Amino acid sequence: MPERLGRYTLRLERPAGVLGFAAVAGKKEGEGPLGAAFDRVYPDADLGEASWEKAEARMQGDALRTALDKAGLSPAQLDCVLAGDLLNQCISSTFGLREFGVPFLGQYGACSTMAQALGLAALLVECGAAGRCAAVTSSHFCTAERQFRTPLEYGGQRAPTAQWTVTGAGAALLGPGGAPRVQAVTFGRMRDLGVKDASNMGAAMAPAAAQTLCDFWRDTGTGPQEYDLILTGDLGAVGSALLRDLLRREGLDPGGRLQDCGLWIFDRAAQDVHAGGSGCGCSAAVLCSAVLQGMQAGRWRRVLFCGTGALMSPTSSQQGESIPGIAHAVLLEARGD
């Protein structure tokens, strides 16, 4: 059974480990700094499918299938898959994972979904509700752009604070005996400081990230310096600077340990992505490539993965709502303590 630490954090007693993982990504992501770490890079945006939405769905299926293959597992050896994406009614997960025939629990935490799914999957394994459980998410620049913003053909100018939705997907399989292990989970509360600018998601999400990270450190009686890597999902340049500022006000200075998937996946100087990468697929593709590879290679031992999400829709923004942020933290350790 998980042990509750403080108010919001759960420490796992028999930590679920990573049995397999895979990341797939688009052409632009493949040309970025992490390109060599992805299991597969597609040469175009439609993957030969009839629509970008079908392409995104296929990425989820490809990610899960590759992760299973790498782990030597079949879909029938999974008890549950937790998956989500940014599209209306989470259709990338539905159509990408339909054929696997595994009990399916759709998750929605906007861009925090990978951390949410990973944390829940770890708990289901911890308590024996699932022998093996998968967490899968995706995003796609073209599907997100036309759903949340404008038709691509419109060619609208982007704000300097805007981020570039990652085309990619990641899948992680959890079960007993794998590595690294999920040692602790902190599920976040919504935090809304009134940001209404849908072109500045980093600002909307940073306060939630600060809240969840501070909850985690308070609950565990630790501080940033005890982690080799503290990795937020997709705060980008603007949100990351705000997070550092918010942590500084709490007397915390994580220094170079604090990094962001949205800043890792693209070369901002060369790739014209403004404030950095974003999307459900951003943190998933980075986690399920460079991060887990790096942990297995001994580069980092304790990684605090903090997925960040902006809980809004075009409808809520059009109706004048602000953008609540949310963040979930998952502690990965190369070996159990």
Q: Return residues touching its own copies (CB under 8 A).
A: 1-4, 8, 10, 50-51, 53-54, 80, 84, 86-91, 94-95, 97-98, 101-110, 116, 120, 123-124, 126-129, 131, 147, 187-190, 192, 311-316, 319-321, 324, 326
Nearer to its own copies, 31 or 79 (CB): 79
Task: Give min distance, CB of 4 to its own copies, in A.
Answer: 7
**What gap in Å lies between CA 144 and CA 89, rounded to an integer?**
13
What is the separation of C-alpha 319 from the centre of its chain, rounded to a whole number of angstroms?
28
Nearer to its own copies, 12 or 67 (CB): 12
CB atoms within 10 A of CB 85: 34
Task: Give min distance, CB of 63 to its own copies, in A.
Answer: 17
Nearer to its own copies, 79 or 267 (CB): 79
Task: Give min distance, CB of 106 to its own copies, in A.
Answer: 4
Question: Nearest-5° angle of CA 97, CA 181, CA 41?
Answer: 45
Q: Say which DSSP state 255 is in.
A: G
Task: Give min distance, CB of 59 to its own copies, in A.
Answer: 16
Task: Give min distance, CB of 324 to its own copies, in A.
Answer: 5
Nearer to its own copies, 116 or 232 (CB): 116
Contacts for 192 with CB less than 8 Å, ≥ 6 apart: 322, 323, 324, 325
Q: Which of 265, 280, 302, 269 is nearest to 36 (CA)?
A: 265
CB atoms within 10 A of CB 297: 9
Nearer to its own copies, 1 or 270 (CB): 1
